[in-house]
Amino acid sequence: MEFKGLCLGCMSNKGSAIECPKCGYVEGTPQVLPYLEPGTLLKERYIVGRHLNANGEGVTYIGYDMTTNKKITIREYLPKTLCSRVKDDDNIIIAPGNKLVYQDYLQDFMEIGRALAKLSSLPSIVPVIDMFEANKTAYTVYEYVDGKPLDEIIKRARRFTWEEARPLFLPLISTVNSAHAIGLVHFGICPENIIMTRSGTLKLQGFGSPDAHLAETELTAEFYDGFSAIEQYSLEGKKGKWTDVYAMSSVIFYALTGKRPPDAVSRSYEPRLNMPSEVAQNIPTHVVTALAGGLQVNIETRTHSMEELKNQLSNPVPRKPEPAKPAPAPSAPNYGGERFVDEPAYREPPVRVAPPAASAQMNRPVRDYEPDDDEPEISPYKYGIISGLIGFVVLGVIALIFINLVVLPMMNKNKADDEEDTSSAYVSSQDENISSEPKVLYRVPNLVNKKWSNVDGNTKYSNFYIRLIDEVYDENYEEGKIISQTVEAGSTVELNTPIGVVVSKGSKMRTVPNIIGMNVSDASKELEKAGLALGDQAEEYSDSYAMGKIIRLNGIEVGQKIQAGSMINVVVSLGEEE
């Protein structure tokens, strides 16, 4: 069936153009089996467009409601491990021996749709418009949400402040808590499934069968590394609403730091999540504490409900008053460094055991010295010898101080001038208020314009704690080179002093590489090297390109300059048409 003027790629009006000027979809592009062909009409009302995404349970299409003349999304129950579809037939074919399992999951699909319909009035749920069965399967129709995935927003904006994140996430947490109250657990909360609307609110999509996000089930499991909890990766793990708590906490952590957490399996070996100090210092302590509870790998110690998570994020926990501390001795400023989300906000001050009362000294009776009558007097000759020895010792001490304070610093300065990168230049100083022993300091090297890959982990700089604190676009520095450092080159600091560095991401404008003729995997790697990303992948038959090879780019040309991080939409070959 044809719908003149309607783009089946984005459901906007493209007029008579073959290629949509808005999304680049080419009219007549076939859908890959077992998905429905673009232009399929369901219930004499809903037009099916290209597929947007799919998982082990089913597929989501963009669609058009001819009754309301609005865009929609259509979710089709289509577990590819249990069924298939043949060309020119919309009916599902259930794989032999899987009829009962197929029907069980179909009932789950319908029940979840009905549950979501009850929650459609909540602000962070995508409303359900319709549910029906057809083609030996079932469909749920949702309102179309005009916005961008949170993942894309974070990648472009780097990170949110808590003041920005708080009004976004608290309503979302409340909505998920309402879903939990009726027994509906998501199991797939992640930035890709959260849409930020044009009005600035968050909406959660992707509700479905739990088995689509759990290991060792009849459905192909889909995990979101960094957001799926440890219990989802095994059959034995106890699953529940606390699983969503972990995912939500991970999303908030990602939004506040701009860094995806490591996957839960890796965290089972190293559970701490580092939060850069320049980020942590701008996040309220109670928020860090709340995230630490929600991000516990072990479900026994993890925050167990969304209500509890929301309360912890909303209400600062009163802190015990910290004991007064003496003014710290002057030292090198603490630049960079890290804070770990598993560390409690308040630690009891260490109990210091009082030193011995020195009774051997303090409890002795004090008396004026009176020489014993039997003690011999010191002769003038002996007195002169002793005085000479004392004078010699005094001169030696003065000479040693002169060498330490004048000669060695001058020698070290000359050595540093001769070799700029010497990271272990020795400087001796003495602070009578701290210690009577010399303190070893190290001269900070100039890291600017060096490749971060050559600095990170280099034993040459092992005397310092050098950490990457930010990456920014900069036209004046090549990608990967250090732009600035938090401790000035040439200054002297103590061993393992933190030094933060900012690294260039290169020019903000990137050249689109030629990926035509490559397979999707190689093209994605090539785009990543160029600072770009692979976007939508339309498909069509081709006599010139083998199946899986990229035929052309959509809406952009090879060699064109575009902003770094942009998505490149492509058309992939289905091979020769039979």
H or E element: which one contains 177?
helix 162-181
- Give the helix, strand, coil percentages of the chain, each rounded to 5: 30, 20, 50
Backbone angles phi, psi at 440, to 5 degrees: -85, 125
Higher-scoring residue by pLDDT: 376, 359: 376
554 and 24 in contact (C-beta within 8 Å)? yes
92 and 135 in contact (C-beta within 8 Å)? yes
Closest C-alpha among 485, 506, 512 to residue 497:
485
CA distance 282 to 163: 10
> pLDDT confidence of 352, banded at 50, 70, 90?
very low
**What does the mean pLDDT of the chain come to?**
81
- For residue 428, give the 3-state DSSP assignment: strand
Higher-scoring residue by pLDDT: 369, 309: 309
Task: Specify the pTM.
Answer: 0.57
Cis upstream peptide for 34 (omega within 30°) = yes
pLDDT of residue 376: 44
469 and 502 in contact (C-beta within 8 Å)? yes
Count of Cβ atoms closer than 10 Å to residue 548 Cβ? 14
State the amino acid at position 321 in one-letter form. Answer: P
CA distance 541 to 381: 115
Q: What is the pLDDT of residues 246-259, one digit of tens each?
A: 999 999 999 999 88
In terms of C-beta density within 10 A (0-12 exposed, 13-18 middle, 19 or more buried), how is residue 15 classed?
exposed
Q: With 60 as the cut, is the pLDDT of residue 568 above it?
A: yes
Higher-scoring residue by pLDDT: 387, 88: 88
Under CATH, which architecture does the 405-504 domain have? 2-Layer Sandwich (3.30)
Q: What is the mean pLDDT of residues 168-193?
A: 94
Q: With 50 as the cut, is the pLDDT of residue 167 above it?
A: yes
> What residue ranges in 92-179 does DSSP mark as E strands?
93-94, 128-134, 137-143, 147-149
Q: What is the pLDDT of residues 73-116, one digit of tens each?
A: 999 999 999 999 998 899 999 999 999 999 999 999 999 999 99
Burial 429-451 (b: 16+ CB within 10 A, else e): eeeeeeeeeeeebbbbbebeebe
Most confident residue range from 3-12, 56-65, 395-404: 56-65
CA distance 79 to 131: 18
Please state which CATH number belongs to domain 32-144: 3.30.200.20
Q: What is the mean pLDDT of residues 512-537?
A: 89
Q: What is the mean pLDDT of residues 192-217?
A: 92
| Cα R_g (the chain), whole angstroms | 34
423 and 487 in contact (C-beta within 8 Å)? no
503 and 480 in contact (C-beta within 8 Å)? yes
CATH class of the region 509-573 = alpha beta
> pLDDT confidence of 456, banded at 50, 70, 90?
confident
Cis upstream peptide for 284 (omega within 30°) = no
Q: What is the mean pLDDT of residues 505-529?
A: 89
**For the chain, which residues make up each domain, given as ranges?**
32-144, 147-318+333-346, 405-504, 509-573
H or E element: which one contains 75?
strand 70-77
Query: Does this chain's domain 147-318+333-346 share its CATH topology with 509-573?
Result: no
Higher-scoring residue by pLDDT: 187, 493: 187
Under CATH, which architecture does the 147-318+333-346 domain have? Orthogonal Bundle (1.10)
pLDDT of residue 46: 97
Q: What is the pLDDT of residues 125-142, one digit of tens each?
A: 999 999 999 999 999 999
Q: With 70 as the cut, is the pLDDT of residue 224 above it?
A: yes
> What residue ranges in 231-325 does DSSP mark as E strands?
274-276
